[in-house]
A and B are shown apart, each in its own frame.
Chain A
């Protein structure tokens, strides 16, 4: 296998090539086609009447007489089922999310009525004219308060607000006598994912095919079709879901939206196409949120910094409803399984709560639970280092899984496939030059700011498959990933895959895989994705799975297609198939060669030249793939950040940022660099800027980008990247999933750097984002404590 990689690296197009992106010609010229670019004859716009209250009983919806035929409520949606995303984990409580609210609203922004008009502005005029009669109920917006026995109930019949509680323990009693014991409460803010393009839906009905056509900005079109069929009570064959160009997903576009169900129903009711384009206010107020975790955590360690155990109680604010298909419990329940990360320890206990509140549903965001887990654990490890009198990095080096332990099953039975974690940390430290930095800290800064160094390391389980997801019992379990490889009559290659690409560069990397297998020029490879009518079933793009799963499927389908090509080629060359090879897009035998183009031409245009016993399957192959082990690939990275903190203004500037990353064999290192840059930007957002606050009545307070701050180019430094490439033992080409990692470690590294900078003045921050207000607050509190102590 590696011989072939070497061979095709020479062409600059195969696995390992830094190939410029094929999709950029279209996207960078503004020729991408997004949902909002679609124009259909007779299409009308939809605006929704949304709940202005976090929790209320609906007493009445008054529609002005003039708009009676333009406004639709739950009463009209006869036969439409609510969205149900059930987990099979024991004790999980089921929420039913009506696509238009029925008796109650449980979050601000919940859909109550849809209004249709020739333009969005007119539809909004109608929405503004609808009068709601709501009886406000006490709202619960704080997840810790929601756990209290007297809290208002989001779903009354539950009797409490707990979607799911989980418990995991390995002999925590063995750790309790450890000489070092540090405990804290750690919080990560609720965020919005804020892709450049929001959600959007165009729904129409194709009478020729008797088919509902839903064009939607989505990551997982086949899963959307499952959900739509369930909610609408329709056969899957009568639904086609198309996901065109998508301007960023990050998980936000992985859920079935009530809006998708509503517009599907509406186009069938009205007989003309309808459209809804999410605006930024809807995105911030009413769409899925992410990341809101709370940890009560204790680390036990010996004097030399060796970890004895972790004891944790984690709470995740899951919002009002369980979102489809990931469910309300995936985030919190994952915390328990991934908190120990790449560290070796003998004792562990973690209790988790997925809590319902009167807020938007929570949804996995790039990094999913890992970003919060990494933040909690890595901040705590710095405290262990302080207690042990060690460099923070030294505590990591003493506790990380060692390369000679690979493959390694950690305390929660995560199977670490390969890698050298300590080496990644050592390289990051070397790049940052710790000694010089410590000397600079001792000297102090002329401008009075304080310098700090922070490190963090994480592991990213990716492309985890059937054996992992069947345990969650959620509506979606990934199986074999399939791809279709088809040679066109002129020798071009069409690849059809069920995953999608919205920044992942799949059109380029999958073409590279095809080139690796068939030697075909990537310019002659077309990737077809994002359409249930044109692609094999797939759970879609999530969980950093595409390079491993779709890459493996494309390799398998191209390999099978190659076998058929060779058999036809051998016949045409009048050779035994054992004596020919497929190299550089031609079949070569001892006495000559025949190109893919000639073979395709013969199959399609001159079948009379084919031998009688040719494989009738032709040059169109669908094949499936799963890694040898489907417990997931484990990529990882060490991040090191140097920051300057202004203790009086609370401003944090990132002076230097180093990432040493190991994603196995890289199909396209430039694409991986891009993934890491983008992830870092989002990680900086989590660390320093992004937060969706709520007031006491459950009203979201950051309703525009003036209040919901995202990092811009001036806030994101150019990181220094270093790649290690430890092949994955169980996957095709040795690739690992890397899509999310960039967003996992930065909040921890940056927070540790800020705390390092402020340690000498006694201030400590255990909450993201680290805002100027929180920094100054911590500094003032430390000064007050210092004075009190004196």
Chain B
């Protein structure tokens, strides 16, 4: 289990990194290596060139700008867990970070790397979609911003184009009246989840962003969340939750195995129950 040969560069500024990426179709970004490392070793990934972006200061910045938090792609899970970066999620992101894999993974793993890998069971993929985050994508010639749901297009698939990388993540400030619930089912501590749900519900304005992850496809952002609660999101949403609707939505999302559906439904139900 040794990687196939590759070239390695660790540029100090973003423009050098983007030039390397833009100039080599076989280049791959490494932002912490917690997923890419094993893929290299198993030879599932055989890039010609690794561009390690962890020496780029610009990508490690974290600041509140207006109504949103902007995190550089190379902010680590541990940075968030330990409170080394500002928070606009009223603690939600910090508690999510603290339960990602193991501490050793959190020390090196980055938020941008996790999103780029696009594992449907990864915590940030669902959580940031529920929080309504957007990502800034950069290439040598362009910069664009997309929502999380636009960014993750399938299991292990993002909308990143050749030469493009995730530069920053923008997380909107959580409203004071919004409830947050996040539940995941893992076979053991630190493992990837086999059931996962993130819910941001604001009964005061009647909105809900509910994301079901750990599917065989991209996480599902429930398009009409009010359906789950008999047509409206209100203060009594917990008691109005209709599991039959959720079951149908899961079926439509491709969860045809009754046991899997039961587990996802249970996780969804508990995320709603725990929302506060």
B3 at interface, CB cutoff 8 A: yes
Could you tell me if A712 and B190 are in contact, using CB atoms closer than 8 angstroms?
yes
Could you tell me if A649 and B259 are in contact, using CB atoms closer than 8 angstroms?
no
Alpha-carbon gap, A650 to B258, bound state (A): 14
Query: What are the residues of chain B within 8 A of A712 when measuring CB–CB?
Result: 188-190
CB-defined A-B contacts under 8 Å, sample of 13? A119-B2, A121-B2, A125-B5, A649-B195, A649-B263, A706-B191, A706-B192, A714-B190, A715-B188, A772-B194, A773-B260, A780-B259, A780-B262
Alpha-carbon gap, A712 to B187, bound state (A): 11
Alpha-carbon gap, A119 to B3, bound state (A): 12
- Over the window 261-285 of chain A, the binary record of Cβ atoms lying under 8 Å from chain B Cβ atoms (1 yes, 0 no) is 0000000000000000001111000
Could you tell me if B185 and A777 are in contact, using CB atoms closer than 8 angstroms?
no
Residue of B nearest to A706 (CB): B192
Residues of B near any A CB (own CB < 8 A)? 1-5, 38, 42-43, 185, 187-192, 194-195, 258-260, 262-263, 266-267
A778 CB to closest chain B CB (Å) equals 10
Residues of A near any B CB (own CB < 8 A)? 119-121, 124-125, 128, 279-282, 648-651, 689, 704, 706, 709, 711-712, 714-715, 771-773, 776-777, 780
- Say whether, besides A649-B267, A712-B188, A773 and B259 are in contact (CB < 8 Å): yes
- Say whether, besides A651-B185, A715-B189, A780 and B258 are in contact (CB < 8 Å): yes
- Say whether, besides A281-B1, A281-B42, A649-B266, A709 and B191 are in contact (CB < 8 Å): yes
Could you tell me if B43 and A772 are in contact, using CB atoms closer than 8 angstroms?
no
Q: Report how many A-B pairs have Cβ atoms within 8 Å.
A: 63
Could you tell me if A777 and B187 are in contact, using CB atoms closer than 8 angstroms?
no
- Say whether, besides A125-B5, A649-B195, A772-B194, A689 and B266 are in contact (CB < 8 Å): no
Residue of B nearest to A777 (CB): B259
Interface centre among A279, A650, A689, A709 (most CB of B within 10 A): A650
Could you tell me if B189 and A772 are in contact, using CB atoms closer than 8 angstroms?
no
Q: At the interface, is chain B mostly helix, strand, loop or mixed?
A: loop
Residue of A nearest to B191 (CB): A709
Q: At the interface, is chain A mostly helix, strand, loop or mixed?
A: helix
Could you tell me if A279 and B187 are in contact, using CB atoms closer than 8 angstroms?
no
Could you tell me if B259 and A689 are in contact, using CB atoms closer than 8 angstroms?
no
Could you tell me if A121 and B42 are in contact, using CB atoms closer than 8 angstroms?
no
Could you tell me if A125 and B4 are in contact, using CB atoms closer than 8 angstroms?
yes
Could you tell me if B188 and A772 are in contact, using CB atoms closer than 8 angstroms?
no
Interface centre among A648, A771, A780 (most CB of B within 10 A): A648
Which of A128, A280, A709 contacts B188, CB < 8 Å?
Answer: A709
Of all A-B residue pairs in the complex, the 4 with the closest CB atoms, nearest first, are: A121-B2, A279-B1, A714-B189, A648-B266
Could you tell me if B188 and A714 are in contact, using CB atoms closer than 8 angstroms?
yes
Alpha-carbon gap, A648 to B195, bound state (A): 12
A643 CB to closest chain B CB (Å) equals 15
Could you tell me if B43 and A689 are in contact, using CB atoms closer than 8 angstroms?
no
Query: What are the residues of chain B within 8 A of A704 when measuring CB–CB?
Result: 38, 42
Residue of A nearest to B260 (CB): A773
Could you tell me if A124 and B2 are in contact, using CB atoms closer than 8 angstroms?
yes
Could you tell me if B185 and A649 are in contact, using CB atoms closer than 8 angstroms?
yes
Residue of A nearest to B258 (CB): A780
- Say whether, besides A704-B38, A780-B259, A121 and B3 are in contact (CB < 8 Å): yes
Query: What are the residues of chain A within 8 A of B185 when measuring CB–CB?
Result: 649, 651, 772
Alpha-carbon gap, A444 to B42, bound state (A): 48
Query: What are the residues of chain B within 8 A of A650 when measuring CB–CB?
Result: 263
Query: What are the residues of chain A within 8 A of B266 when measuring CB–CB?
Result: 648-649
Alpha-carbon gap, A648 to B265, bound state (A): 9
Known: A772-B263, A773-B263. 10 other contacts (CB 8 A): A120-B2, A124-B1, A128-B43, A648-B266, A649-B266, A650-B263, A704-B38, A706-B191, A709-B187, A709-B191
A119 CB to closest chain B CB (Å) equals 8
Could you tell me if A771 and B259 are in contact, using CB atoms closer than 8 angstroms?
no
Query: What are the residues of chain B within 8 A of A280 when measuring CB–CB?
Result: 1
Query: What are the residues of chain A within 8 A of B195 when measuring CB–CB?
Result: 649
Interface centre among B189, B194, B259, B260 (most CB of A within 10 A): B259
Query: What are the residues of chain B within 8 A of A120 when measuring CB–CB?
Result: 2
Query: What are the residues of chain B within 8 A of A772 when measuring CB–CB?
Result: 185, 187, 194, 263
B1 CB to closest chain A CB (Å) equals 4
B219 CB to closest chain A CB (Å) equals 19
Which of B5, B188, B191, B259 contacts A776, CB < 8 Å?
Answer: B259
Alpha-carbon gap, A709 to B189, bound state (A): 11
Residue of A nearest to B187 (CB): A709
Query: What are the residues of chain A within 8 A of B187 when measuring CB–CB?
Result: 689, 709, 771-772
Query: What are the residues of chain A within 8 A of B190 when measuring CB–CB?
Result: 712, 714
Query: What are the residues of chain B within 8 A of A124 when measuring CB–CB?
Result: 1-2, 4, 43
B274 CB to closest chain A CB (Å) equals 12
Query: What are the residues of chain B within 8 A of A128 when measuring CB–CB?
Result: 4, 43
A683 CB to closest chain B CB (Å) equals 15
Residue of B nearest to A651 (CB): B185
Residue of B nearest to A123 (CB): B2
Query: What are the residues of chain A within 8 A of B42 when measuring CB–CB?
Result: 281, 704
B37 CB to closest chain A CB (Å) equals 12
Residue of A nearest to B194 (CB): A772
Alpha-carbon gap, A711 to B262, bound state (A): 25
Alpha-carbon gap, A282 to B2, bound state (A): 12
B3 CB to closest chain A CB (Å) equals 7
Alpha-carbon gap, A280 to B41, bound state (A): 11
Alpha-carbon gap, A711 to B191, bound state (A): 11
Alpha-carbon gap, A704 to B94, bound state (A): 29
Residue of A nearest to B189 (CB): A714
Alpha-carbon gap, A712 to B190, bound state (A): 10
Residue of B nearest to A713 (CB): B189
B234 CB to closest chain A CB (Å) equals 26
A747 CB to closest chain B CB (Å) equals 16
Query: What are the residues of chain B within 8 A of A709 when measuring CB–CB?
Result: 187-188, 191
Residue of A nearest to B195 (CB): A649
- Say whether, besides A689-B188, A712-B190, A121 and B5 are in contact (CB < 8 Å): yes
Query: What are the residues of chain B within 8 A of A771 when measuring CB–CB?
Result: 187
Alpha-carbon gap, A121 to B3, bound state (A): 7
A122 CB to closest chain B CB (Å) equals 9
Query: What are the residues of chain B within 8 A of A715 when measuring CB–CB?
Result: 188-189
Query: What are the residues of chain A within 8 A of B5 when measuring CB–CB?
Result: 121, 125
Residue of B nearest to A278 (CB): B1
Alpha-carbon gap, A704 to B37, bound state (A): 13
Alpha-carbon gap, A714 to B185, bound state (A): 15
Alpha-carbon gap, A771 to B260, bound state (A): 12
Alpha-carbon gap, A776 to B185, bound state (A): 13
Query: What are the residues of chain B within 8 A of A777 when measuring CB–CB?
Result: 259
Alpha-carbon gap, A773 to B257, bound state (A): 10
Query: What are the residues of chain B within 8 A of A282 when measuring CB–CB?
Result: 1
Could you tell me if B262 and A776 are in contact, using CB atoms closer than 8 angstroms?
yes
A601 CB to closest chain B CB (Å) equals 54
Alpha-carbon gap, A280 to B38, bound state (A): 12
Alpha-carbon gap, A341 to B159, bound state (A): 61
Query: What are the residues of chain A within 8 A of B1 when measuring CB–CB?
Result: 124, 279-282
